[in-house]
Amino acid sequence: MKPVWILPVVAVVGVVGALAFAEAPAADRAAAGKRAFATVASVLQSPRCRNCHPAGDAPLQGDRGVPHAMNISRATVAAGVPCTACHQERNSEAIGIPGGPPGAPHWGLPPAKTPMTFEGRSAGALCEQLKDPARNGNRTLPALLEHVTHDPLVLWGWNPGGKRTTPPVPHAAFVEAFGTWVASGGACP
């Protein structure tokens, strides 16, 4: 005859085990998401992304991130002169004008109300900002993944022309890391 305590023990062990099984992948996903976000952050803070996601209202230029020449800022745009006055749909050298402005479709700064600042943010702060609908233009995580995968202005960062540096990892690796982060539910470091 089996002791009467065996059934409850087996049941408890089973439930705990099942819970552990269910939680382990989630924990793994979160850990993977946090690791992946380090790659994401390294891209967002590279000059090609950071320069149009500045801490202030003036876009930045070059790898050193100096404020845009000619007093250009969000105030310029508000005063009737959009970024696309000078930045066309492709780099100026593509039409035989080396030394002119870089260009890609819908070149511009994030809106003043949702500036999506990359400059000077820690990876954790970047992560929290990125997934916050109140600060990211009301985008879901899959929508963010779509944005970084297909938006031509994002893609320009990996084909910037001239002597401009590119982000630290290839676009495919960035998208893969971003996807891992999205699959984790936006786990933040």
Partner 1 sequence: MKLVVNGKPVEVAVPEDTPLLWVLREELDLPGTKFGCGRALCGACTVHVDGAPKRSCVTPVGDVADKQVVTIEGLAPDPATLHPVQQAWIEENAPQCGYCQAGQIMTAVALLRAKPEPTDADIDAAMSANLCRCGTYPRIRRAVHSAARAIKAGGGDRG
Q: Say whether residue 15 binds partner 1 (CB under 8 A).
A: no
Which sign does the torsion angle of CA 139, 83, 61, 72 carry? negative
User: Which one, of 160, 173, 167, 24, lies nearest residue 103 by Cα?
Assistant: 160
> Considering only residues 30, 32, 55, 94, which one is a binding residue for partner 1 as defined by CB under 8 A?
94
Least Å from the CB of residue 106 to partner 1? 13
Write the binding mask 137 to 166 for partner 1: x where contact by CB under 8 A, - elsewhere: ------------------------------
Least Å from the CB of residue 99 to partner 1? 5
26, 73, 108, 186 from 83: Cα distances, Å: 43, 9, 5, 31
Least Å from the CB of residue 85 to partner 1? 5
State how far the Cα of 145 lies from the Cα of 89, in Å rounded to an integer.
23
State how far the Cα of 97 lies from the Cα of 101, in Å rounded to an integer.
9
Query: Which residues sit at the interface with partner 1, rule CB under 8 A?
Result: 70-73, 75-76, 78-82, 84-86, 88-90, 92, 94-97, 99-101, 103
